Amino acid sequence: MPSPATSRPPTLDEVAARAGVSRTVVSRVINNGPHVSLAKRTAVEKAIRELGYTPNRAARTLVTRQTGVVMLVVSGEGPEVFADPFFAQIIVGASAALEKTDLHLMLSLATPVRGRDRLRAFLQTRSADGVMLVAMRGDDPLIEIAAQSGLPTVFVGLPLNGTPPFYVDVDNAGGSRLATEHLLRSGRRRIAMITGPDDTAVGRDRRRGYTEALLLAGHGPYAVESGDFLESGGAAAMRALLSVHPDLDGVVAANDNMAAGALRVLRDAGRSVPGDVAVVGFDDLTVAVHTDPKLTTVHQPVQALGREAARMLVDLLDGEHPDPFILPTRMVIRDSA
């Protein structure tokens, strides 16, 4: 029972200390969350009884000014960005991770100027408890907006400049190396790359993986053309590559959308795939099984990106200091390479 010397009720930290577990574990037991062993759950429940701890969510909200809302913020040009299978899978993963918590997920598309102004005003009023930032490009002002808010912030994918303390990402360079090495093993030597935007860390990392694989094999980069992660951009980049390097025999595209555009241009140009030119994408989303031929690609666990980012944010809100998380990639072999 609480000490008679004080009327202060026991705290979550005191329950954690009595049970010999972390604050996060206590929070998960109280909220009937997953990933708690029977032994720890029993220890926490015993400590709660011994200390007379009573969760008072209403009082806690008033004291901490918690809103029960976390935001997933995407930097983009228009609402159609949420129709992209990549972002849709991020949302699915984050929602799944928050399902058994008391937190609600709010989506925000921070379009240039007006959308960012609205977000800044929203965060300044501390109308959310934490933020997940997705698709940061260059010196995106969203990074500074989130920093100024003082709210716990998790990055889904690294920003271009600097390394934040809390982020979840995939092994982009390693995945691109896998794609390039696959083409090298199949005998391709004139391998071009359609890169992502140069003002994104993911674009630069995937280009770096391509370059490293060729250098390790005793070759230099054959030809590189910048893309924008859209199918139309992949098509434009493929046309530019063919105009200068008509003898290329392999293409690594930095995502599946651009690979789909490249396949369309190669077909229109009378090039057989993979006979004349082998093509590898990156993502392994729905588009990869609807291309003709079906796309060999690098699988990245996109749902897991959203899920782990949300879990990291929950840990931050529970007073933990989680480590950054890098998810692995793997090759998925289909018909295009």
Q: Are residues 20 and 39 in the same domain?
A: yes
Q: Are residues 166 and 306 in the same domain?
A: yes
pLDDT of residue 315: 87
Tell me the whole-structure pTM to 2 decimals: 0.77
CA distances from 215 to 49, 195, 279 (A): 63, 17, 20
136-147 burial by CB neighbour count: b if 16+ within 10 A, else e?
Answer: bbeebbbbebbe
Q: What is the CATH number of the domain that holds 221?
A: 3.40.50.2300
The answer to whether residues 146 and 131 touch, using CB atoms and an 8 Å cutoff, is yes
Domain-embedded: residue 333: no
**Alpha carbons 80 and 82: distance in angstroms, whole number:** 5
pLDDT of residue 33: 63
pLDDT of residue 4: 44
How does strand 69-74 pair with strand 278-283? unpaired
Q: Are residues 322 and 312 in the same domain?
A: yes
The answer to whether residues 168 and 303 touch, using CB atoms and an 8 Å cutoff, is no
pLDDT of residue 77: 66
Domain-embedded: residue 44: yes
Q: What angle do CA 275, 279, 285 make, to 5 degrees?
A: 135
Q: Are residues 189 and 238 in the same domain?
A: yes
Q: Are residues 87 and 235 in the same domain?
A: no
Q: How many domains does the chain have?
A: 3
Q: Are residues 132 and 251 in the same domain?
A: no
Q: Are residues 193 and 44 in the same domain?
A: no
Which residues constitute the domain of residue 116? Answer: 67-170+302-327
Q: What angle do CA 210, 184, 332 make, to 5 degrees?
A: 75
Q: Are residues 114 and 187 in the same domain?
A: no
Q: Which residues contact 18 (CB under 8 A, 6 or more apart)?
A: 47, 50, 51
* Strand, helix or coil for residue 178: helix
226: left (phi over 0), alpha (psi -120 to 50) or beta: beta
Domain-embedded: residue 62: no
How many residues are there in the chain? 337
Domain-embedded: residue 332: no
pLDDT of residue 80: 61
Q: What is the CATH number of the domain that holds 43?
A: 1.10.260.40
Q: Are residues 310 and 165 in the same domain?
A: yes
Domain-embedded: residue 293: yes
**pLDDT tens track of the chain, all 337 residues?**
444 445 667 887 888 899 998 877 887 787 666 567 888 889 999 998 888 887 654 444 434 446 788 989 887 666 666 667 888 899 999 999 998 787 889 888 776 666 677 778 777 777 788 899 987 777 778 888 888 888 899 999 988 888 889 999 999 999 999 999 999 999 999 999 999 998 889 999 999 999 999 999 999 889 999 998 999 999 999 999 999 999 999 999 999 999 999 999 999 999 999 999 999 999 999 999 999 999 999 999 999 999 999 999 988 887 788 889 899 999 999 999 9
Q: Are residues 81 and 141 in the same domain?
A: yes
The answer to whether residues 326 and 170 touch, using CB atoms and an 8 Å cutoff, is yes
**Alpha carbons 169 and 303: distance in angstroms, whole number:** 12
Domain-embedded: residue 271: yes
Q: Are residues 147 and 177 in the same domain?
A: no
Rg for the chain, CA atoms, rounded: 24
Domain-embedded: residue 3: no
Q: Are residues 72 and 136 in the same domain?
A: yes
pLDDT of residue 59: 42
Domain-embedded: residue 202: yes
